[in-house]
Amino acid sequence: MNDWFSRLFAGAYVGRRVLVTGHTGFKGSWLVLWLQAMGARVCGLSLPAEGSHSHMRALDLPIEEALVDLNHAGAVREAVQRFEPEIVFHLAAQSLVRKGYREPAGTFQTNVIGLVHLLEAVRAMPSVRAVVNATTDKCYENLDNGRAYVETDALGGHDPYSASKACAELVSASYRASFLGAAASGRPVALATARAGNVIGGGDWSEDRIVPDLVRAALNQGATTVRYPHAVRPWQHVLEPLSGYLLLAQRLLQEGEIHAQSWNFGPSSCAHLTVLQLIDRFAQHWPAVRHRVDPSPQPHEAHLLHLDCRKAREQLGWHPVWNADTMLARTAQWYRAYHEAGRIASHHDLQQYVADAQRAGLAWART
C-alpha cells in the first residue's frame, strides 16, 4: 500500500473488502490496480482473460479471484459468500456492439440475467453495503438531436448491446426499490449505476475498438479499417470514469441511499471528437498509425453521443482531469512502451493522474 494513495477518497478504501466483477477485463484491471494501491483487499469475479495480451496478467497483481461465469448463479453466489465484500463494483459484461449483433442472446443473458444473479447473491450477503453497477452512455434512447443526455432521459437501445444495458439500468432500479433499499429491507444496500463515455487507455486489446485496432495495425505496418469515421463520441481515459466510480462508492458508504441513483461520468466538451479526429490526434503520438475508410454498409450505431455530467459535478464534486491531448498522448505512450520496450506504464500513469487531480484541487485527491 502506498501511504499517499491510502489517503485518497478520505481513506475510505483502506482495509475494505472490495469485489470487482470483470477484473480480468480492461476497466476492471485498472480498477484493481487503483484499489490495491489504496490498501483495499480486492477480490475478483470474472471469466479468464482472453487473448495473448492481458492487462491483468501483465500487472501480475496478487488477488483473490473466482474465475466463474455470471450466468452460473450458484457459482456467483458461492464466490460472493466466500469473499464477504463490503463494496461491489460490477464491471463484468459483454461490452462490444458488433458482438452484440452476432450474439444477441448471449449479450442479453450476460448483461441482464448475469446482473440478476449477482444482485441475488448481494441481497443474500449481509456484509455488502454499497454496489456500483457500471453501465454505459449507450443506455439512452439515442435521438441524434445534438443534445447531451442527462440521467432522467429515456432509456433505449437500437442494438442488442445498448438495449441490454438499458435493461441493466431497469433491473438495478427494480432491485433498489424492491429488495435493497431501506423501505424494502432491514439491511439497506446502496445501489447506484454509472454511465460512462467511450473509454480508452493502455491495456485494452479488445476486438472492434478503435484504439486497439489502431495499435494492432501499426504493429503490423498496416492500416486500420474505419467503419464509422464521422461518429462523435465522448472519449475519455479509463482513469476518468474509475475516479467517478470510486468517488460514488465512497459517498454510498458514507451517506447511503441519498446517492443510490444513476450518474453520468463523461469528458469535457473538448474530448467530444469524431473517430477521424481521434485517429489523427492519436497518430501525432505514433506516426505508424494509418487508416482507411470502409464505404460498405454497416450495422447501425448512433452517430452522436454526448453526456451531460452536471449532476456528478454539482452533487459529487467530480470533474474530469485530463484533456483530449493528454488522454491520447498517455494512451499512445503506454502501448509504445509495452510493445517496443516490454514496459508496463500503468503504475506511472495512475500516479500522474492522481498528481494532476491534486493540482486541479479535486477533493477526492486531497491527502
Helical residues (DSSP H) of 256-323, grouped into ranges: 275-283, 310-311
CATH code for the structural domain at 16-365: 3.40.50.720
Tell me: pLDDT of 207 over 70: yes
Model confidence over 210-261: pLDDT tens digits? 999 999 999 998 888 888 888 888 899 999 999 999 999 999 999 989 999 9
Angle between helices 239-255 and 26-37 (to 10 degrees): 60
**For the chain, which residues make up each domain, given as ranges?**
16-365
Other beta carbons less than 10 A from residue 81's beta carbon? 12
Contact 38, 10 (CB under 8 A): no
Q: What's the pLDDT score for residue 276?
A: 93
pLDDT (0 to 100) of residue 232: 86
Q: ∠ CA 56-57-63 to the nearest 5 degrees?
A: 65
Q: Which three cell numbers stand for residue 146?
A: 445534438
C-alpha cell at 145: 438531436
Q: Phi and psi dihedrals of 112, rounded to 5?
A: -110, -60
CB 191 within 8 A of CB 128: no
> What is the spatial distance between Cα 283 and Cα 214, in angstroms, rounded to a whole number?
9
DSSP state of 149: B
pLDDT (tens digit per residue) in 86-97 = 999 999 999 888
Question: Which residues form the catalytic set?
Answer: 161
What is the spatial distance between Cα 235 and Cα 305, in angstroms, rounded to a whole number? 10
> Which tens digits make up the pLDDT trace of 278-326?
999 999 999 999 998 877 766 666 667 789 999 999 999 999 999 999 9
Q: Show the beta-strand stretches assigned E in the chain.
A: 17-21, 41-46, 64-67, 87-90, 130-134, 190-196, 198-200, 224-226, 232-237, 262-265, 272-274, 291-293
Q: Average pLDDT in the 34-40 region?
A: 97
Report the pLDDT value the prediction gives residue 205, as an integer from 0 to 100.
Answer: 93
Instruction: Return the minimum-mean-pLDDT range out of 71-85, 281-295, 329-343.
Output: 281-295
pTM of the full structure: 0.95
Mean pLDDT of 115-144: 94
Q: What is the mean pLDDT of the chain?
A: 93
Say whether pLDDT at 146 is over 80: no
| Confidence at 1, pLDDT banded by 50, 70, 90 | low
The CA–CA distances, whole Å, from 215 to 98, 206, 339, 340 equal 19, 11, 9, 12
Pairwise CA distance, residues 246 & 152, whole Å: 22
User: For position 246, what pLDDT does the model report?
Assistant: 98
**What is the distance between the alpha carbons of residues 299 and 353, in angstroms, rounded to a whole number?**
36
